[in-house]
Amino acid sequence: MHIAVTGSIATDYLMTFPGRFSDQLVADQLDRLSLSFLVDELEVRRGGVAANIAFGLARLGLRPLLVAAVGEDFNADYRAWLNRHGVDTSGVHVSELRHTARFMCTTDEDQAQMASFYTGAMEEARFIELAPIADRTGKLDLVVVSPNDPEAMLRHTAECRQLGVPFMADPGQQLARMDGPQVRRLVDGATYLITNDYERTLLETKTGWSSEEVLDRVGQRITTRGPKGCLIEDSEGLAVEVEAAPERARRDPTGVGDAFRAGFLAGLAWGQDSQVSAQIGSMMATYVLESVGTQEYDLETVEFAERLAGAFGEQTAAAVRDQLG
């Protein structure tokens, strides 16, 4: 399966606050909120939703096509890193004017996060056309439309409909930026719609659609629920819950959702059903949770399959062994 992953590429600045954000908030002063947190650690890492998903797919033996906009600074190291790990970066547009996007995130001891995102070169993603990329690299079997410049996201989903290419709508944090008509345009006709549980409610609020109406407009709806796992639904009555894979440690939750998507998409590419695919995604998410940085985890086939077998059974583990050897 030839998968194109569109969305952000960024440099992540990950900080740790040795306390709880909730303890710093005064309920009757929120309209004058002004806080500064003294952090203990700073990690500078490669990131961006699309890059994280593509990296995860490549670690599972696929060769995804990354489609995004970056600055010249991307070419210094990041491109080589992704190419070396099996990601096709030929679909990446390089801006002559802007830096690659920046993600700045502070995590407290409850794994709650406060973050900011500088768009930078990502704004130029709206000028990227999928058809010429498909002509050059080969037929696209699935396009992932992950958080990106909003105009780019809408353009990519419109192109997918015109080209007859299945797509996964993954609006993520851009739901806060987009209005109701934009969200409806983004989601309508998606083969897969994926959000977390908060984004699920926000999407319904912004579109004015009920849960049933959303299901009528997409093939499958996947809702990630953090430590509670995920829920997979469709309009035919499918409602499958998949538990979160047990972790050995909790180091940083940044990129956990991206890793889940990578595992889920890999399972689909291998011909597995959504339940098994979500189980693979759940284990991938756990690997990222156990590390600092969204692309810093080690994935050794034998251990990965053993952990899958322990969490979800031998059938899921066998699906991975068959593909990765």
Residues known to be catalytic: 258
Read off the tokens for 206: 């912004």
Cα end-to-end span (Å), the chain:
18
What kind and span of H or E run contains 264?
A: helix 256-269
Closest CA to 268 of 218, 306, 222, 314: 222
DSSP state of 155: H
DSSP for 191-226?
A: SEEEEEHHHHHHHHHHH---HHHHHHHSSEEEEE-G
Among the listed residues 266, 290, 287, 286, the one whose alpha carbon sits nearest the alpha carbon of residue 276:
266
Query: Please, which contacts does 109-116 make with residues 24 or more away whose CB atoms are closer than 8 Å?
Result: 109/17, 109/18, 109/19, 109/20, 110/20, 110/21, 110/22, 111/250, 111/253, 112/20, 112/21, 112/22, 113/253, 113/254, 114/21, 114/37
